[in-house]
């Protein structure tokens, strides 16, 4: 297979191929030359925010993805650099006050912690509800929410090559909470999967699993290829590396070994899908980003693409149409458009559901069927992935059509339901059923599940 795979022949004329990875963070703000043009006040505000929300970037993002002639409006700058509007004015002032007078580290951290705790760090019951058990013991670093799919969080894949300013995993990156890991993590995962033949796919996620060296990633992937796990038909890796650090697949010292590892997954009879997080067409504009996609696909893996719709970053039909068009052109498959979750700097980034739908549909209508593999806008809510499917006018009243793409109870999948039209609502819990009932059809059963009675029958 390796003979057909694209080889990593270096192209010395491409500066992005000569980089080695180094992360830049809050302490480097004064050392980034491109920020020298900012006035003192703006830089101070940036430091203030970067003490509360995670900040991490790298030289490739700075030099090749951000258009510095267009800051602060540039979408890639908004995506990676802390902005004053991400904190409420009183919180921003408080942090600016502390940073400006060079307050003791302890005081800054204490104030930051208070603000962090006020930013709804645990939306959608992800951690408590979805943690599986094996013989009464929690399986560390695993979530099992939908019958056929298990999420796996390898301990060494919990950072990223840069941090997205809107990331819903921000509490993990600022050390507010951590997942529980154990040294025999992969062994527990495999033991759990052996007992669960209904699981057909594993999603390896983070952070970003592609932050791991190939040899470390292999320790996660290879046990999943065991003949005893024949019921696994596919393995996904969720990653933003194709956008933030395409060098990972092209020029990093172990990139060839990574390609061979990807090939081994296919050779073992499993499909490997790289679930690439692309937020903006700019991320697909560099030669090395193209080569990364070509190399991944040359191993037999597919690339499926997903991202949330974010104000200041990609809140236009044009951005999405371009993004999907470019993905199709490069052989990647548009997959999900998500709604931003109710956490962290959400007020800065969120777009009302109805507006997101309008952007999605305008973009969807303008692309060919090859790009219409994308589904959205989709909310990853406690009961499941809920699609905002369209607007419907019946008897002079307007409704929002919703549908489960994934659900805690598989019976809910595919069943359309209606909410009253509300141009401001930003999440499922702000919507009201159209049928006059006080709650949606799944809510009573969902409450029972939350109380730990999974077999409960819906009351309606």
The stretch among 104-112, 138-146, 226-234, 345-353 that binds ligand PLP (CB under 6 A) is: 138-146
- Shortest spacing between CB 59 and ligand PLP, in angstroms: 32
β-bridge mates for residue 236, sequence order: 203, 273
Q: Which of 52, 119, 160, 217 binds ligand SF4 (CB under 6 A)?
A: 160
Q: Which of residues 314-373 bind ligand SF4 (CB under 6 A)?
A: none
Q: Which of residues 222-251 bind ligand SF4 (CB under 6 A)?
A: 240
Q: Which of 169, 311, 341, 399 binds ligand SF4 (CB under 6 A)?
A: 169
Q: Nearer to ligand SF4 by C-beta: 164 or 402?
A: 164
Q: Which of residues 425-454 bind ligand SF4 (CB under 6 A)?
A: none
The stretch among 4-12, 28-36, 42-50, 159-167 that binds ligand SF4 (CB under 6 A) is: 159-167
* Residue 377 contacts residue 360 (beta carbons within 8 Å): yes
Specify the DSSP element, H or E, that contains 220. Answer: helix 214-221
403 is a site residue for ligand PLP (CB under 6 A): no
Judged by beta carbon distances under 5 to 8 A according to partner kind, the member of ligand SF4, ligand PLP, none in contact with residue 220 is none
151 is a site residue for ligand PLP (CB under 6 A): yes
326 is a site residue for ligand PLP (CB under 6 A): no
DSSP one-letter string for 420-441: E--SS--SGGG--BTTS-SS-T
Q: Which of 145, 312, 326, 399 binds ligand PLP (CB under 6 A)?
A: 145
- Whether a cis peptide bond, with omega within 30° of 0, leads into 72 is yes
- Shortest spacing between CB 167 and ligand SF4, in angstroms: 3
Q: Other C-beta atoms within 10 Å of 55: how many?
A: 24
Distance separating alpha carbons of residues 250 and 255, to the nearest angstrom: 6
**159 Cβ neighbours under 8 A, 6+ residues apart:** 23, 56, 173, 206, 207, 208, 211
β-bridge mates for residue 393, sequence order: 398
Strand residues in 73-140 grouped as ranges (E): 133-134, 137-138
Q: Which of 60, 77, 146, 192 binds ligand PLP (CB under 6 A)?
A: 146
- Work out the burial of residue 320: count CB atoms within 10 Å of its CB; fewer than 13 is exposed, 13-18 middle, 19 or more buried: buried
The residue written with tokens 């990574």 in the block is: 258
User: Which residues of this chain interact with ligand SF4, rule CB under 6 A?
Assistant: 160, 163-164, 167, 169, 206-208, 240, 277
Q: Which residues bind ligand PLP (CB under 6 A)?
A: 143, 145-146, 149, 151, 203, 380, 385, 405-406
């Amino acid at each position: 297979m390796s003979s057909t795979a694209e080889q990593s022949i270096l192209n010395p004329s491409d500066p992005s191929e000569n980089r080695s990875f180094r992360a830049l963070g809050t302490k480097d703000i004064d050392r980034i030359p491109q920020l020298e043009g900012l006035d003192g006040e703006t830089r101070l505000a940036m430091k203030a925010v970067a003490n509360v929300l995670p900040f991490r970037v790298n030289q490739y993002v700075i030099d090749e993805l951000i258009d510095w002639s267009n800051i602060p409006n540039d979408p890639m700058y908004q995506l990676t650099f802390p902005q004053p509007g991400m904190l409420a004015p009183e919180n921003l002032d408080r942090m600016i006050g502390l940073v400006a007078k060079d307050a003791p580290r302890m005081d800054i951290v204490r104030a930051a912690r208070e603000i962090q705790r006020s930013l709804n760090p645990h939306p959608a019951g992800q951690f408590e509800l979805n943690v599986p058990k094996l013989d009464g013991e929690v399986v560390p670093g695993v979530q099992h929410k939908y019958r056929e799919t298990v999420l796996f969080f390898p301990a060494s894949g919990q950072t990223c090559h840069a941090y997205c300013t809107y990331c819903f995993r921000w509490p993990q990156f600022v050390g507010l909470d951590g997942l529980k890991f154990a040294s025999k993590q992969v062994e527990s995962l495999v033991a759990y999967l052996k007992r669960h033949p209904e699981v057909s796919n594993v999603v390896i996620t983070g952070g970003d699993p592609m932050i791991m060296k190939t040899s470390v990633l292999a320790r996660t992937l290879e046990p999943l290829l065991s003949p005893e796990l024949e019921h696994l038909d596919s393995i996904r890796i969720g990653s933003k590396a194709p956008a933030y650090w395409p060098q990972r697949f092209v020029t990093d010292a172990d990139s060839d070994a990574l390609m061979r590892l990807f090939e081994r997954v296919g050779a073992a009879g499993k499909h490997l899908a790289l679930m690439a997080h692309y937020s903006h067409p700019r991320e697909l504009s560099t030669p090395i980003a193209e080569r990364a996609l070509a190399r991944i696909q040359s191993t037999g893996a597919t690339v499926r693409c997903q991202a949330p719709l974010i104000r200041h970053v990609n809140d236009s039909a044009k951005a999405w149409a371009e993004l999907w068009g470019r993905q199709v052109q490069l052989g990647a498959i548009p997959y999900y458009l998500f709604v931003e979750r109710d956490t962290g700097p959400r007020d800065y980034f969120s777009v009302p559901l109805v507006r997101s739908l309008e952007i999605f549909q305008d973009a969807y209508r303008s692309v060919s069927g090859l790009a219409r593999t994308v589904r959205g806008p989709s909310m990853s809510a406690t009961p499941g992935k809920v699609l905002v499917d369209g607007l419907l006018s019946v008897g002079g009243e307007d409704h929002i059509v919703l549908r489960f793409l994934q659900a805690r109870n598989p019976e809910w999948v595919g069943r359309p339901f209606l909410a009253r039209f509300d141009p401001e609502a930003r999440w499922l819990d702000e919507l009201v059923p159209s049928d006059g009932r006080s709650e949606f059809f799944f809510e009573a059963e969902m409450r029972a599940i939350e109380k730990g009675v999974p077999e409960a029958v819906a009351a309606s």
